[in-house]
Structure 1
Amino acid sequence: MKDVGVWTISKVVLNHSHPCCPERVEMLKQHRELSMFVRRTIEIHEKAGIRPSKTYQSFVAAAGSHRELGFIEKDVRNYITREVRNISEEDDAKEFGKYLLRMKEKNKKFFFKLNLESDHYIKHAFWADARSRAAFEYSETWFHLTPPIIQTGSFVGVNHHGQSTLLGCALIKNENIQSFKRLFECWLCCMGRKAPKVILTDQCASIQRAIELYMPTTIHRWCIWHIMKKIPNKLNGYKGHIDIEQEMSHVVWNSYTKDAFHRNWNVFLTKYGLGGNKWLSSN
C-alpha cells in the first residue's frame, strides 16, 4: 500500500482452487426455483403432516438424484414457512412468543422471558421447562453459544450420574456485556436467584465480565474442548507441530492433579522452547 492509502495490484492468479462447473450454475440461490407441480406437492404433503425432509427425499427419489433437482431441501422448508404457513419474517417472533405462552399454559412451572425489538424481532429470549429447572439442583453447569445471525445459547448441566442435562435455552442478538447481563438475570429469576456453583464457557471476554459482575459467587472456567480445538491453528507454524500437539494433549488429559499439571506443563514448554508463546502463556 502506498502512502496515499491506495492498494496496488502486483500479481493476479486467475486459476481457481477447484474446478468450475458451469452446468451447475442453476444451483446458485438466484437460479433455484420451485415449479408449480413441486409447490402443489409440498402443500399436499404439509396438509398430510409429512415432514419437509421426507417431502424433499420424495423429489430426490423421483428424479434419481438430488443433483437432478433445481432446488435444495432448504427451499422446500422456506416455501412451507413463507407460503404454506404464511409466516413472514416479522411474524416469526410473534409466533415464537405464542408458542412460549402455550407451553406456559400447559405447565405453570415452564419459565420464559422474551424481549422483542419494535415488536417484530427477537432481542433476547430465555426459556426452561419444569424438568430443566428441577435438574439444576443436582447439576454443574456450562454455557454454550452457537454463532448464527442471532446467537443460540444453551445451559447444559452434568448430574451426579455424569449425564448431560439441558437446563435452559436462550436467543440473544448481540454478544456484549449487556446482552449477557439480561440473560443471566433471566437465569437467576428462573432458578430462584441461585447462581451456578461452577460455569464453563467459551473464551469470550463479554461472558467473562458479565459473570464477574452479575454472578460473582460462580467459579468461571473456560471449556477445555474449545481450548483444545484451537491447538492446530495456534501451533501449526512450529516445526514438528504434530509432535507438539500430541504431547500437549497428553499433558492436558493425563495430569490428574493441579500440581502434576503445572509440573508437566513447565517441562513441556521448556522441551519445545514455547515459553515465549503468548497464547500458551495466557491459558
Structure 2
Amino acid sequence: MSEEAVHVMLAYEDPSDQRSLSPDYSSSAEESHEKTELPLDSADDPVPYVGQRFPSQDAAYEFYSEFARRCGFSIRRHRTEGKDGIGKGLMRRYFVCHRAGNTPAKAPSEKKAQRNRKSSRCGCQAYMRISKSAEMGVPEWRITGFANHHNHELLEMHQVRFLPAYRTISESDKNRILMFAKTGISVQQMMRLLELEKCVEPGYLPFTEKDVRNLLQSLRKVELEDDGVDLLRMCRNIKDRDPNFRFDYTVDCSGRLENIAWSYASSVQSYEVFGDAVVFDTTHRLTAFDMPLGIWVGVNNYGMPCFFGCVLLHEENLRSFSWALKAFLGFMNGKSPQTILTDQNMCLKEAIGIEMPATKHALCIWLIVAKFPSWFNAVLGERYNEWKAEFYRLYNLETSEDFELGWRDMVNAFDLHTNRHIANLYALRPMWALPYLRNHFFAGMTAPGQSKAINAFIQRFLSAQTRVAHFVEQ
C-alpha cells in the first residue's frame, strides 16, 4: 500500500464518515496545489493517531495545538456534531488548521469603502476529529479521524510564534506594561526594556508591539468606563449640593455612558443676559480618552468670555449633535440664541437647522483661518502671506457686491481657479464673510482677534492628563 493511501485511510478511519470534511474546503485558486505532508512517526514529537484517548476535549485540543506548533501551523476549533448529527448532545468535534476553509467574497458596498485584506485561509484540509465514548461508564474522547495534508507552506520554528494562537502576554508582563505606560514611555521602548529584562534577542518576545497596543487600548476603554461612572456620580453629588446645577446624559445598549452634558446655575444666569450670540466649539477632544468635546461660550458686556455649558460626545454625528443641542436648550429653559458660530461640520449644520430653526448659523472665521497653512502654504509658496492679507481685506468689506468682484480678482491674481478649498470657501461665503453677516448680531465674535481670548478661555478646561470626573469640577 502506498504512503499516500495510508494517509487517506488515516484521514477517514471512521467508516461512518467517508466524506469530505467540509464543502468549503476546496483549495483556493491563488494557492499552490502542492501539498505539504508531515511524517507520521517520530520518537521525539508525538503525533496524533486514531484511537488515542483524552480525558476531555480541552486536553485533546491542547495536545493537537502543541503538535501544530512544532510542525509550523496553528489550529482552531471547527464544527461540532451531536447525536442528531447537528449539535444536540455533543458527541463529535473537529479541530482544523488555521488556514482551513475559504473566506467568501464580500459584496461591494457603495456607502462604505471596503479594505482589500487578503485572507490567510486557503482551503487546507488538515484536521483532527475526536468523538465521545464511555469505557466502563467513564466518559472519554478519542481520535476518530486525522489528516496531515497541508496545501500551503509550513512555518519555521522562529516564525510560528508570530501566529495569533501562540502570542500571549502573561499577567506579570501585563503588569510591567501597565507600569511602563504610566511613566509615558513609548511601546517600542517597552518592548526593548522587556527584551533586556528577559534576556531575549530583539523580536523574540512571545508577543508583538501590536499586541501591546491592543492591550493598552483595552485598558484605556476600561478606564474610560470607570471615569464615566465617576462623572455621573460627581454630577449627582453636585446636583445634591446645588439643585440649580443641570445635567443630562444617555447610555448605550450595554448601559455604559454614551453622551453627557452639563451647565451650572451661574451659566444659566449668564445665558439669560448674554445668550443672544453663542459659540459652540466642537474642535477639541479629551486626548486621554479620545472623546469629542463641545463647549458653549459667549461674551459679556465687557467682551470677556463666559461659559454656558459643556458636552462630551461618543460620536460626531447627526444623532449626537441633535441630542446635545436639545440638552442645551433644556438647560436654558428653551431659549435659542439669535446667532450661533461653529466649525464647518455638515452633521452639526443639519442638527442646528432641526433643533434651532430660527437661529442664524455662521462659521467661526478663526477656525477657518487655522486651516489655511495646511490648505495653501504648499500651493502658494512665497505668496502665501500676500494672499492671506488679501483674504482678510475681502473678509472685512462692507458689501457683498464688492466681495464678489474682489474674490474674482483674487482667484485670477493667484491662479486658484481649480483649488478645491477656494471653491468650498466661496460656496460657503454667506456663512463666514462679513459682507453677508453684517445684519446679524454676533457680539464681536466674528473678529479674528477674538479667537485668542476664547481659545485661552477654553484651554482652561482642557488637559490631556485630566480625568473626566475632575474635568467637570473645573
Q: Report the TM range for the smaller structure's normalisation.
A: 0.5 to 0.7
- Structure 1's 165 and 259: CA in aligned 2 closer, same or farther, altered over 3 A? farther
**Is 1:251 aligned to residue 401 of structure 2?**
no
Spell out, residue by residue over 1:46-78, the C-alpha distance to the aligned partner (whole angstroms, 9 max, x if none): xxxxxxxxxxxxxxxxxxxxxxxxxxxxxxxxx
Contact 1:244 1:272 in 2 (8 A): no
> How far off its partner does 1:249 sit?
4.2
Contact 1:110 1:129 in 2 (8 A): yes
Q: Which residue is equivalent to 2:280?
A: 143
**Is 1:264 aligned to residue 264 of structure 2?**
no
Q: Which residue is equivalent to 1:18?
A: none
> How far off its partner does 1:107 sit?
1.6
**Is 1:282 aligned to residue 282 of structure 2?**
no
Spell out, residue by residue over 1:241-271, the C-alpha distance to the aligned partner (whole angstroms, 9 max, x if none): 4244333343256435555544433332232
TM-score (norm 2): 0.40
Spell out, residue by residue over 1:73-109, the C-alpha distance to the aligned partner (whole angstroms, 9 max, x if none): xxxxxxxxx9xxxx95433212111110111122211
Q: Which residue is equivalent to 2:373?
A: 232
> How far off its partner does 1:188 sit?
1.2
Q: Which residue is equivalent to 2:295?
A: 154
**Is 1:31 aligned to residue 173 of structure 2?**
no
Q: Which residue is equivalent to 1:115?
A: 250
CA distance in 1, matches of 2:405, 2:240: 56
Structure 1 spans left out of the alignment, 5+ residues: 8-25, 33-81
Structure with higher RCO (Cα < 8 A, 6+ apart): 2
Opposite residue 307 of structure 2, the aligned amino acid is L
- Structure 1's 186 and 261: CA in aligned 2 closer, same or farther, altered over 3 A? same
Q: Which residue is equivalent to 1:98?
A: 233
User: Secondary structure of the equivalent of 2:380?
Assistant: coil
User: Secondary structure of the equivalent of 2:379?
Assistant: coil
CA distance in 1, matches of 2:241, 2:265: 11
> How far off its partner does 1:229 sit?
1.2
Contact 2:387 2:414 in 1 (8 A): no
CA distance in 2, matches of 1:257, 1:163: 29
Q: Which residue is equivalent to 2:260?
A: 125
CA distance in 2, matches of 1:132, 1:196: 14
Structure 2 spans left out of the alignment, 5+ residues: 1-29, 31-115, 119-183, 192-218, 426-474
Opposite residue 247 of structure 1, the aligned amino acid is A
Matches within 5 A, 1:43-122: 89-117=224-252, 121-122=256-257
User: Secondary structure of the equivalent of 1:151?
Assistant: strand
User: Secondary structure of the equivalent of 2:279?
Assistant: strand
User: Secondary structure of the equivalent of 2:316?
Assistant: coil
User: Secondary structure of the equivalent of 1:238?
Assistant: helix
- Structure 1's 105 and 259: CA in aligned 2 closer, same or farther, altered over 3 A? farther
CA distance in 1, matches of 2:240, 2:371: 44
Q: Which residue is equivalent to 2:384?
A: 242
> How far off its partner does 1:204 sit?
0.7
Mean CA deviation greater in 166-175 or 252-261: 252-261
Opposite residue 104 of structure 1, the aligned amino acid is K
TM-score (norm 1): 0.65
Contact 2:261 2:309 in 1 (8 A): yes
The number of residue pairs the alignment matches comes to: 209
- Structure 1's 135 and 263: CA in aligned 2 closer, same or farther, altered over 3 A? farther
CA distance in 2, matches of 1:266, 1:245: 13
Q: Which residue is equivalent to 1:59?
A: none
Q: Quote the sequence identity (%).
A: 25
Q: Which residue is equivalent to 2:318?
A: 177
RMSD: 2.9
Opposite residue 295 of structure 2, the aligned amino acid is S
